[in-house]
Structure 1
Amino acid sequence: MTPADDHEEPLLYTFFVRSPKKHTLFLSLTLSVIAVILFLPSIIENQFPIDTLVASDKTIAMLLFLLRHPHLLLFFYGITLLCSASMLLATVMLLSIVLWVRNQHTFILTLFLTLLTGEGAMLIGKIFFRRQRPDLLFHAVSETTFSFPSGHATTAAAFFGFLAYVLLRTKQTKTTRVIGLLIAILLILLLDMSRLYLGVHYLSDVIAGNLIGLAALLFAIGITEHRIAVKKIRIPDLPIADIALVLLAETIVILGIVLLFVPPWL
């Protein structure tokens, strides 16, 4: 064995330089989105005067406040619970068990890498920007952390984006993949809207959160695809009913909370 054989190439070198060509798209997208996030404050400041941006955010917040309806408040309260900390933890644990039972061990790593990366970046953003939330008058639910970026929007893009990736990566019919992708996008948009409608975030908060969640997802996908290619991992079949049952269980719990407990704004 030669000395060169004993030398192990650095992980970053093997990841960025020796990755299979078919994974270049994932790596490029990841780096592009991360770059956008890093330079987002400068881009916003140069393209939109800060006074204009703040005024737009506040105008939208006021408009949604004036358009509030009790039934819509309940609906969006249920939607926002989808990505609450306790609900997310329970759902992730249940989904991890399902993936483990179905021998989808690779995707468990992807799931946790996506969420941990996204949540970590989001928390750093909150500490760095320290943006205050909309006026308490607008709040339909209680929130105590900083506003920018939105944690719920970050989680929504990361988690539902992950589910869409799993459907696209496993053996599914074309119809299932298309419907699954559309449902994931719809849930992300509904989650974003819930944070605005409940008066706890500005539009720029949720957009930034989505970007962070997307960047975390693409980063995790890039690592996953590289690992699959290098280790020649075979992806077992995953019945769509498994994911549907996990989401159904979460939905039933949320319906129980919404229907049986007094809403926080009453």
Structure 2
Amino acid sequence: MTIGVILMMVAAAVFGNLAADVVSHDDITELDAFLADWFHSHKNSVWTNPMLFITHTHDVLGVSIMASALGLYFYLKKARYWLICLVLAVPGGQLLNVLLKTIFQRARPSFDEPLLTLATYSFPSGHTLGATVFYGVLAAYLVCVVPRWKVRIPAVLGACAMVALVALSRVYLGAHYLSDVLGAMVEGCGWLAVCITSCSTLRRRRAARISE
């Protein structure tokens, strides 16, 4: 629980600083604009179709389908606390992201010939948040139930790689700025800490009551 609280506090502090930089148009917004223009100038490369595939498979529908499949697995395995954690993390994280988008109301990158045209706000990235919480729960579950480090390490690295790919696809396709995806990663990590810590505390208290 202590580790979870520390992670929540760190995530909140990092997100707050990043959000303040975005609102005040600090140095990171200059990097945002530079990277957005650079990626847009290379939009016709061989990476465009793979980036479109990654981004479309991690929209709200795609993440919901993957989360439902994982939830079914948890249900069949009778991993009730992991199922609760998943329900809190994915739908709850998406609702939190919508709230933050509404609060900050940051406009998306704008180009003459965009690859994607979206009407919603930009900060933080919903796709990146969804990937962070989904793959985060999956990696946390594997780390907890599999004792072998040969499985644990690839699970964590694989989760990080998938989140990074989704984030890259959003910046590459001109749907988000760099700070949008970074903010979503931090937001997702903080929300994961809340969900995992809460479910772990609930499980421990229930076990303590049963043993009394």
Q: Does the TM-score normalized on the shorter chain lie above 0.5? A: yes
- Name the aligned partner's letter for residue 222 of structure 1: T
User: How many pairs were matched up?
Assistant: 208
* Bigger Rg, structure 1 or 2: 1
Matches within 5 A, 1:1-266: 23-42=1-20, 44=21, 50=25, 52-137=27-112, 139-232=114-207
Stretches of structure 1 lacking an aligned partner (at least 5 in a row)? 1-22, 234-266
TM-superposed deviation, 1:172: 4.0
Q: Quick one: structure 1 residues 72 and 45, their matched pair in 2 at CA, closer, same or farther if it must change by over 3 Å?
A: closer
Q: Structure 1 runs of 4+ off > 6 angstroms? A: none
Asked if the contact 1:115/1:216 (under 8 Å) is kept, the reply is: no
How many Å apart are 1:57 and its aligned residue? 1.0
Higher relative contact order (CA 8 A, sep 6+): 2
Q: Tell me if the contact between 2:22 and 2:179 (Cα under 8 Å) persists in the aligned partners.
A: no
TM-score, normalisation: structure 2: 0.90
**Per-residue Cα deviation, 1:213-244 (whole angstroms, up to 9, x for no partner):** 111101001111112211229xxxxxxxxxxx
Q: Which deviates the most, 123-132 or 53-62?
A: 53-62
Across the aligned residues of Structure 1 and Structure 2, the Cα RMSD in angstroms comes to 2.0
- Distance in 2 (CA, whole Å) between partners of 1:175 and 1:191 is 25
2:93–2:130 Cα contact (<8 Å) kept: yes
Identity of aligned residues (%): 24
Please report how far the alpha carbon of residue 39 of structure 1 lies from its aligned counterpart in structure 2 after TM superposition.
4.8
Runs of 5+ in structure 2 lacking a partner?
none
Give the residue type in structure 1 aligned to 2:103: F
Q: Counterpart of 2:14 in structure 1: which amino acid?
A: V
Per the TM alignment, residue 182 of structure 1 is displaced from its structure 2 partner at its CA by 0.6
| CA shift in 2, pair 1:28/1:141, >3 Å | same
